[in-house]
Every structure is written in structure tokens, then in C-alpha cells.
Structure 1
Amino acid sequence: MNVPLSSPDIGQRERELVNEVLAGSILSMGPKVEQFERMVAEYLGVKEAVAVSSGTSGLHLAVRALGIGEGDEVITTPFSFVASSNCILYERARPVFVDIDPLTLNIDPEGIEAKITPRTRAILPVHVFGRPADMAVIMDIAKKHGLYVIEDACEAVGASYNGKMAGSEGDAGVFAFYPNKQITTAEGGIISTNSTELAGLCRSMRNQGRIDGKKWLDHCHLGYNYRMDELSAALGVAQMERIDEILAKREAVARAYNARLGRLKGVTLPHMEPGIKISWFVYVIRLDPGISRDRVMTYLQEKGVDCRPYFPPVHLQPFYRETFGYREGDYPNAERAASATLALPFFNNLTEQQMDYVVEVLEQAISRAA
């Protein structure tokens, strides 16, 4: 049996709305983009949402719109997809890493204040794997020190912390809708904020620096082509119409995995805690020390089960080693997690038969890799 790592959930409604766009004359920055923005803003409970071409472009615009620039520092996590740190470097600021909590795998808030310097301008927590970071503590620290907060919620649409939606508390939140995400626009992302001024600046910069009321070839800010097209937004509208259904499907798959994997020795399941609503982006287990994760992966892939090592830590990526001189041992919790985590096939319509096969092959792999 071949089981893919992810598979988008695209139905008739998505096709209808995409065809509706194709039947018209507007393919970029039209009514579907505006509708998608309104739906996301309402869902998150924020004033503004700005659709962009990707989560990465959204993070870049958020950093730039807040005036973070050369010589500034932004505190973030090394256990993330590399874009959360790259977006800081785009503006010649520097990411300053804080190690992670070994249970939640999110940035450890107890380590943040020790990294604050006169150059610190912001904190950029990442809601890793759809689990919200400890935003109550992070927001208190930011308020105390006069820092901005940019929430990387690219993996966390629909997640909440003590009833507050991920991406709704910071100065800006950013979501991504790549095909492996909970909802997809094929390519695309969105910036959430309660600041009308920040939203307006991001809207201008995503569209080559243009602003409403000016001529098309007037460029009032340094801008980029970070626009979302109408076809992508049409997908997003259809997906948002059934986001509750989609998230419920993913939670059901996660619970089914928990029930099956709970009996396996050598496997640690995703950490659960009260007050946290996980939006299941991926299903990531951790293998005990002494079990070769690479050998497990090789066996799974030989048997047709796709899998990934989520995440290699950012500070040990070749570019970051060469540029900043990071070494193994700098952030031990992130490094231990990175060496043990394994993402299993996970998507809305994963079948019981597929899950049974994944667990069966995983058990075989562990017995061979121990």
C-alpha cells in the first residue's frame, strides 16, 4: 500500500468557485480575494486580514511593516520551518534564538527575557505543528519591554489558547495555505491584525507599493509582488466555508492515531494539555533514544509509507552555520527534538485501512531499528 504524507481535500464547491472566477474577467486582486479576507478576519475575530502570495511573504511584510530593520533583533525559535527566521534576515535584522519547551516543542517563554537586549524589537513565536505557543506569558513579556509580537501561525489556523485564536493576539499574525496545510489556496497566505494602519501598509507593499486613490503607476512605498490571485482566493473561500468540518476531520484522524499508537513501545505521542486546542497540521511522533529515526524512515518509505523528519533545527541549517557560526549543542532541546521527531501520513480523508497499515509498518520498523 502507498500512503502519501499529505493530500488536499478538494471538493465540488472548490471547483465551482474556481470555475466562477474563470468565467469572469478578473483573475487577480478582485472580489474573491476581498471575500476570503473578510471570512478569515471574521473567523479569527480580528479587524483586518490581508491576503498574500504565501506565508513567507506574509511574515516578510509583517516584519517590514513594523519597522524592523538593520541592526534590530527579533527573538524566535530554532525549531521551525526556516521561513520564520529568514523573514527577519530579509530586513537585515537578526533572529535571536530561544530554546524550546521539550514537551510542547514551542519556544520556551522562560528563556525569552534573558535574550532581550537594547536592540530587541519583537518576539516571533511559532505555533509549531498547530499547537499554540504560550501567548499569555509572551504577551506579558512583550508589554513589559515594549516589544512587538508577530505570531507565525502558518501551521495553526483554527488553533486556540485559553479561548483566544492563534494569530489574533499579536501585532500581526501570519497564516499559510500550502497544499499540506489544514486549508489550502494552493499557494497563499494571510496577515491578520487589529491595526488598520498596519493592514493598509501591508496591502500597499504586497501590490508594488501602490495605494488606493493614486494612479496605477504611482508607487508610494517600496513594494513587492506578493499578491494573491483570484483562483487561489476562490479555493480559500470554499475551504473557509467548511473549515469546521475540515478541522473536525483532522482531529478525528489524530485521535484515531493516538488510539492505535498508544500501545507501541518506543513512541511518544503529541503532548496534550488543558486550555489548548490544537489545529492538526501534521501528526508528529517522537522516537525513544536508541531507536534510529533514519532507519525507521527508510523502512517506512520502502513499504510505501511517506514520512518526514520535522523539523531540522534552523540554527544548524548550512546557511545559518556559515553565517552565524552556530554549532551542535547551542540549543539542545531543539536538537533532541529534531533528531527524534517523525511526521506520519496525515490528511483529512486518511482511511482506517491506511492508518492500520501505517501503524503496522511503523511497529515493524521500530523492531528493526532498536
Structure 2
Amino acid sequence: MSSPDINEDDIALVTEILRSGQLSIGPYLEKFEALIADYVGARHAVAVANGTAGLHLCMRLAGVDDGGEVITSPFSFVASANCILYERGKPVFVDIDEESLNIDTRLVEAAITARTRAILPIHVFGQPADMDRLNAIATRHSVTVVEDACEALGSEYKGRKVGTFGQAAVFAFYPNKQMTTGEGGVVVTDDPEWAKALRSLRNQGRAEMGGWLTHDRLGFNYRLDEMSAGLGVSQLSRVESLLGQRSAVAARYHEALKRIPGVRPIMPCGGTTRMSWFVYVVRLDDGLPREDIAQHMAAQGIPTRNYFPPIHLQPFYRRDYGYRPGQFPIAERVSATTLALPFHGRLNDQDIERVCDGLARAINAVAPACAGAAV
């Protein structure tokens, strides 16, 4: 489904760090943070163990507590809602816009209550959410905005990079992301007090100037190691090239899919002036049986994924919190028709043709009346 783009410079730098003997809390962590802050356009960056850790820390700083509510989308990876539960808060799901697949800003204001602590938009698949409307709503109601930008490094909303619209934003660098640190994430913010608190919270609650065994607050071990930070430094040195390669692969997919009826790709829309391609997702017409198509593609050796199952219909959300089908119909309808195809920046034309031919054959096999695709 994906493949990290690792070159010899990446390997050499990580090897150099291993030989240095300083494997944690060293110079590459600081360098990585400075480079990320500069790239995004934020004043501060605090690297953490993964994107989920970053989201968790932001929920704590946003004041989420027992019963505190956070308005967010049900169409996302489950971590975006789990981070609210970690603080004993309540995810308040709002249905999505069918074109952008992001939270529907027309529904957000009605979901705000006296218990609302934050709005957590997800820039799903690298498509920016409508941040102007969300920030206007948040300002009217004095609630915090945290951007889940874990899938969106380099994306731009109205010409401005995501990660600079909220009180804080979180990026992630798992191996399927636009760039990777193996595991790892970063929180960016313009607020020096948030940055100070984030550095303490990720490091077992130690103060920046305190002793190693002095803990000012309840914290976590959410540190990012030096090897991961060094890999991030190396990857950032060519991040625009990495993004460009992924964009070129997406463009080749767009062209190849034009000949397959019943299939349409997710495309930039709304205020998106640059989409940073995290995965390549298509939507199938309602009459096409997605699971059967996926099985036929798997039989051809072509993996796919149903990005994303709605969070509220995950088994433990239904069991523990009483969610049920039908509560967020657009997210559920979209989820039933989305299919992620193999995607990374080094796919060549032959790879893309093989995937698209396999998709056309699968559609012909399961729904020949809907097909007629050229194979």
C-alpha cells in the first residue's frame, strides 16, 4: 500500500547518530524542531513520539476534562477521537461535507455547548478543512482550535500552510506519510506558554530548567529519539521533492482512471490551494460493491484499503458509547464507497497501469453492467 522514500543520505545520518552515542535529547531533536517550525511557518515546534501523543497533549492543554466536549469529525483515523477520551472528554461528532470529506462547518456551531472545550478539524487525506469558518466560530464562542494535520504536511489553505490556523497543530511521520521519521510527530504553535508546557509534558513533567528527577506536573514519556529526529532532518532537506513526487503520481492516477466508469478520485476543492497527498483514495459509484472489488484486486496481488471506516461505528465506540448506524449519514455513505489504492512517491507508470487495469478487471468481474472499462 505504501513505501517510505529512504535514501543513502538518510541512512548515513542515522548511522552517524548511532555512532555518536547520544541517542536521546540531543542536537538533532532541536535541529529537527527548528526546521519544522520554519517549514510550517510557526514560532515553536515540539517533537513527540507520534501524532497521537501530540494530539493527546493538545487536548490536555485545551482544558479537556471529565465530560469536556471536543467537536470533531467521525471520518478519520481513530486516534483523532481517542485523544479526547484519554482526558476523559467526549468527542462530539459532526457529519462531513461530501465534497471535501472534512467536517461540515455549517453544522459546527449548533454542536457547541457550555461544555465545549475545543474544535478539532482533521485535514483528511491532505485536504485542508475550511479554517476561516472554523476559526470564526471558535472566536465567537471562545473555544480552542487544534488542527489535526497528521496527514497534511505541506498542504495549503488559501495559499497558507496548514498548521498555522489554530492554537496548535499536530503533524505525524509514520512510514506511510509524506515524509517519515519511522514513528514520530510534532506539535507546532505560536504560543510560547503552550510550547513550554508541551516540552514538559512530553518529558515526564520535568521543567526546562529543573533537575532530571524533579517533576513539576504529571507528564508522559512522549519524547522523540535522536535517530528519528535525525531521519526527520534528512527527509526535510528534500521535503518539496518528496511532495512533488507524490503529486506527480496522483496526477498519473487521475489520468489513468479516466477510462474506468464508476470511479472518481478525491480531488482538491474549496479553499485548497495545495493538496499534500497522503493516500490516493477513489470513490466508487453507489452500485459498485466495494468489498467484492477489493477482494478481486487482492486476488490479483493488488492491496487496497477502505479509508476510513467511521470512528463512531468502530466496535468499542458502539459498545462503550452507544453509537449506532445512521447518526452521521454522509460520513457513513462516503465510507462505504471509498477505496485507497497503492500509493507512494516512487510508483512508476507501469505500477499505476497495473493497479488501474486490476481495478477495471475487478469492476468488470463484479458489476459488468456498470463497467465497459478498457483493460
Q: TM-score range by the shorter chain?
A: over 0.9
Q: Which residue in 2 is equivalent to 1:296?
A: 293
Q: Which residue in 2 is equivalent to 1:63?
A: 59
Aligned: 1:364 with 2:372: no
Aligned to 1:148, which of 144, 157, 160? 144
Aligned to 2:293, the other structure's residue is in SS state helix
1-structure distance, mates of 2:284, 2:366: 10
When the two chains are superposed, the root-mean-square deviation of aligned CA atoms in Å is: 0.8
Structure 1 length normalisation: TM-score? 0.98
In structure 2, runs of 5+ residues without a counterpart are 368-375
User: Cα 1:274–1:326, aligned 2, differ >3 Å: closer, same or farther?
Assistant: closer
2-structure distance, mates of 1:66, 1:92: 13
- The 5-angstrom pairing of residues 70-109 of structure 1 reads 70-109=66-105
2-structure distance, mates of 1:272, 1:196: 33
Report percent identity of matched pairs. 53
Give the CA deviation at 1:275: 4.1
Give the CA deviation at 1:18: 0.2
Give the CA deviation at 1:156: 0.3
Aligned to 1:172, which of 152, 159, 168? 168
Structure 2 length normalisation: TM-score? 0.96
2-structure distance, mates of 1:341, 1:273: 17
Aligned partners of 1:262 and 1:269 also within 8 Å: no
Instruction: List structure 1 runs of 4+ shifted beyond 3 angstroms.
Output: none
Aligned to 1:349, the other structure's residue is in SS state coil
User: What are the Cα deviations for residues 147-195 of structure 1, in whole angstroms up to 9, with x where unaligned?
Assistant: 1001000000000100121111100100110000000000000001001
1-structure distance, mates of 2:300, 2:351: 12
- Aligned letter for 2:189? T
Give the CA deviation at 1:324: 1.7
Give the CA deviation at 1:65: 1.7
Q: Which residue in 2 is equivalent to 1:205?
A: 201
2-structure distance, mates of 1:272, 1:195: 30
Aligned: 1:37 with 2:33: yes
1-structure distance, mates of 2:280, 2:191: 34
Give the CA deviation at 1:199: 0.8
Aligned: 1:224 with 2:224: no
Q: Which residue in 2 is equivalent to 1:265?
A: 261
2-structure distance, mates of 1:262, 1:327: 36
Range with bigger deviation, 123-132 or 162-171:
162-171
Aligned to 2:20, the other structure's residue is in SS state coil
Q: Which residue in 2 is equivalent to 1:28?
A: 24
In structure 1, runs of 5+ residues without a counterpart are none
Q: Which residue in 1 is equivalent to 2:243?
A: 247
Aligned to 1:23, the other structure's residue is in SS state helix
Aligned partners of 2:128 and 2:271 also within 8 Å: no
User: What are the Cα deviations for residues 250-305 of structure 1, in whole angstroms up to 9, with x where unaligned?
Assistant: 00000000001022101021133364111000000011011110011111111111
